[in-house]
């Protein structure tokens, strides 16, 4: 038996992010020559499609759910030097527009991290809609953006004697999202 064909119909209504089948990850240069990667384990959000087909996106990330595979580093990321989760426990995104960009899309919106809100533009792929596995239709999306951490008040400097820094300024955020059609 073959799976039903994927369609590109994202019908009007609300599509809730399924955290079990989605991920938010990041990577940043470490010691100039490699990258540290990590994820955020707790997040929520929705894609809402208006009757005229106009989509909007909202999402929230529990920044304390950061996981890089090293407990000591994760504790430092949660501290005031980086995310300051005691003072700023969540990061949020609220879209302003979605526009075609070749075969893909450009998703612009306001991203708030560590109390700083900036307009960002994500490269967005819409992977289509599938009837799902008995729990309703699912839609798939992939998005990414490169941010400068200093733009969001994460301005710790840890210079190396040989030049460069322990932690790079540019952070790549990657989202792999499955969203469930809400009844």
Place of tokens 């809400």: 182
Cα–Cα distance measured from residue 183 to residue 172, given in angstroms and rounded to the nearest whole number: 34
Two tokens, residue 181: 């059609």
104 CB neighbour count, 10 Å cutoff: 13
pLDDT, one tens digit per residue, over 94-140 is 999 999 999 899 999 999 999 999 999 999 999 999 888 878 899 99
Percent of the chain with pLDDT over 90: 66
For residue 85, the Cα-to-chain-centroid distance in whole angstroms is: 17
Two tokens, residue 121: 């533009």
Q: What is the pLDDT of residue 1?
A: 43
Q: What is the pLDDT of residue 130?
A: 87
Round to the nearest angstrom and report the end-to-end CA distance of the chain: 28
- Superfamily the domain 13-181 falls into: Lipid/polyisoprenoid-binding, YceI-like (2.40.128.110)
DSSP 8-class letter at 166:
S
Is-contact 147 110, C-beta < 8 A?
Answer: no
Two tokens, residue 82: 């980086």
Which of the two residues, 165 and 82, has the higher pLDDT score? Answer: 82
Where does residue 2 rank: exposed (0-12), middle (13-18), buried (19+ CB within 10 A)? exposed
Two tokens, residue 50: 């208006």
82 CB neighbour count, 10 Å cutoff: 20
pLDDT, one tens digit per residue, over 1-25 is 444 444 457 888 899 999 999 999 9
Q: What is the pLDDT of residue 10?
A: 83
Q: What is the pLDDT of residue 3?
A: 44
């Amino acid at each position: 038996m073959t799976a039903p064909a994927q369609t590109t119909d994202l019908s009007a209504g609300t599509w809730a992010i399924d955290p079990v089948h989605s991920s938010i990850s990041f990577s940043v240069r470490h010691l100039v020559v490699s990258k540290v990667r990590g994820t955020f384990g707790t997040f929520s959000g929705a894609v809402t499609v208006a009757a005229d087909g106009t989509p909007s996106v909202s999402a929230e990330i529990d920044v304390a759910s950061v996981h890089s595979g090293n407990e000591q580093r994760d504790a430092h990321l949660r501290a005031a030097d980086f995310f300051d989760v005691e003072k700023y426990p969540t990061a949020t995104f609220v879209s302003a527009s979605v526009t075609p960009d070749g075969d893909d899309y450009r998703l612009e919106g306001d991203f708030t991290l560590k109390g700083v809100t900036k307009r960002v533009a994500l490269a967005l792929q819409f992977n289509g809609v599938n009837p799902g596995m008995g729990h309703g239709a699912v839609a798939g999306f992939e998005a990414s953006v490169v941010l400068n951490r200093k733009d969001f008040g994460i301005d710790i400097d840890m210079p190396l004697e040989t030049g460069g820094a322990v932690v790079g300024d540019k952070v790549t955020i990657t989202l792999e999202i499955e969203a469930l059609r809400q009844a």
